[in-house]
Amino acid sequence: MPAESVLGLQWGDEGKGKIVDLLAQKADYVVRYHGGNNAGHTVVVGSKKHFFHLIPCGIFHKNTKALISNGVIIDLEVLVKEMDILLKEKLNLKNKLFISPRCHLILPYHKNLDAAYENARGKNKLGTTKRGIGPAYSDKVSYNGLRVYDLADWNDFTEKFTFQAKIKNKILKTFGVKPVNITAELKKLKKLRSRIMPFVKDTFEMLNDAAANKKRILFEGAHGIMLDLDWSPYPFATGSNTVVGSVNTGSGLAYRQLGNVIGIVKAFTSRVGGGPLPTELHGRLADAIRERGGEYGTTTGRARRIGWLDLEAVRFSCKINNVNELVITKLDILSGLLELKACTGYTLNGKKIHYSDCGYKELAKVKPVYKTFPGWIEDISGIRKFSKLPKECRDYLNFIGKFLGVKIKFVSVGAERNANVKF
């Protein structure tokens, strides 16, 4: 069976964690292939919430193996903390969790540099998570990165880390930031190294063998498409490519082996951090949606900005990723609103303009073209059949599918694993 990929089609926080967890019930492998611990996925099992930043969400399923492949950048401290949480849940990670030796490392000086750059920007802050993502990717492409591979030879790693830390400390001093204590950090890293090395294995061969044997493989996208390094309104982006093509570069599985591409769309829009958000709402309505939906960052805890559903942006995401199916999430949060709006296009200076034509300056100035829908008052969280949804709700969903030209697979109406409406 061809592999499947789950992608967030907006600015992140679409509810990918729940959907990956749900689909992983039938998967042999679930794979993280890009990004770092700036991603945050939430899985609700019963009354308990589980938060993942690096480990793939499907790891709870008995027969599912979790792979962190080469495109992921790893903060060892975060990874070990997640492992410890799973161990407390009596989950045996042996032959369950696998980490590619090609993964680059987020190191202490990366986090310090991230914060220093962001603070230095003043009013022009990008809204980074200050997790060291950008500086780690910068080191990767400038041949200054250190990988899990380097940890195998501790003496060699010590030499490389010391060299890089001395350079980074000089930069930190120019920002007036306290330099990294090389000796203390190496001591911490050595302990973390001992925890993860038993799980290091070549994930390339694992995945390609799995594909050859027709195993079910599920790829877990970490960030929304609107944050892609090349296709976002740069520089308001994450440090990696989030489009479906990064499955190949981030895992080694050939693109031809990728079958279904499932796009996750929140029934409204949200984002964390700076950058333009054409359909952004303010005031009481935004506050009400935010509070009802628990729209606070899993990674940062920051309040998310709220907006109406931006179908112009989502249409772009569908095209660039050749999305086959849609999952609409958090539809239940919109219950009780008298009316809803969906953006069907942009104008700039009175002329029609597409998302793909916009940089961040244009995107900040565009005027959304809205279609207005009547709302519904019914609580839909307990509904499991499409025909049982209020007419107004069905009309809203049908319009989304028709506008995007993509079939809706199902609709999420709650945080729980099985709170879904079959379409």
CA geometry: angle 326, 332, 336, nearest 5 deg: 135
Residue 362, C-beta contacts closer than 8 angstroms, at least 6 positions apart: 348, 353
Question: Which H or E element spans position 219?
Answer: strand 217-224
CA neighbours closer than 13 Å in the CB half-sphere of residue 404: 35
Q: Is 287 a catalytic residue?
A: no
Name which of 298, 388, 369 is nearest 17 in CA terms. Answer: 298
In this structure, what token pair is assigned to residue 421?
């409406």
Which one of the listed residues 41, 50, 53, 110 is annotated catalytic?
41
Q: Using CA of residue 102, residue 103, residue 108, residue 114, what is the dihedral sign?
A: positive
Please state, in angstroms and rounded to a whole number, the distance separating the CA atoms of residues 220 and 34.
9
Which residues are within 8 A (CB) of 112 and not within 5 positions of it... i.e. 6 or more apart?
132, 168, 172, 177, 178, 180
The 8-class DSSP code of residue 334 comes to G
Containing 306, the helix (H) or strand (E) segment is strand 305-307
* Of 13, 21, 75, 150, catalytic: 13
Q: Which residues contact 49 (CB under 8 A, 6 or more apart)?
A: 42, 43, 415
For 218, other C-beta atoms within 10 Å of its C-beta total: 25
Residue 51: Cβ-neighbour burial (10 angstroms; 0-12, 13-18, 19+)? middle
Active site residue 110: no
Distance CA(200)–CA(102), nearest Å, equals 10
Contact, 169 vs 177, CB < 8 A? no
> How far are the Cα atoms of 8, 119, 224, 276, 347 from residue 359, in angstroms, in the given order?
21, 24, 17, 10, 14
> Do residues 20 and 238 lie in contact, with contact meaning Cβ atoms separated by under 8 Å?
no
Catalytic residues: 13, 41
